[in-house]
Amino acid sequence: MLDLLPDSDIPAVLREFHRVLRRGGLLVLAVMAEQSPVLQQLWMMLFRHIPAAVGGCRPIQAAGWLRSCGWEVEGQEQITQSGFRSELLTARPRRG
Any bridge partners for residue 85, and if so which? 80
- Show me where the domains of the chain are located: 2-19+30-93
Outline where 7-77 has alpha helix (H).
10-20, 37-49, 62-68
Condensed to tens digits (0 to 9), the pLDDT of residues 57-88 reads 999 999 999 999 999 999 999 999 998 999 99
The percentage of residues in the chain with a pLDDT greater than 90, rounded to a whole number, is 94
- Tell me: pLDDT of 96 over 90: no
Length of the chain: 96
Condensed to tens digits (0 to 9), the pLDDT of residues 7-43 reads 999 999 999 999 999 999 999 999 999 999 999 999 9
The percentage of residues in the chain with a pLDDT greater than 70, rounded to a whole number, is 99
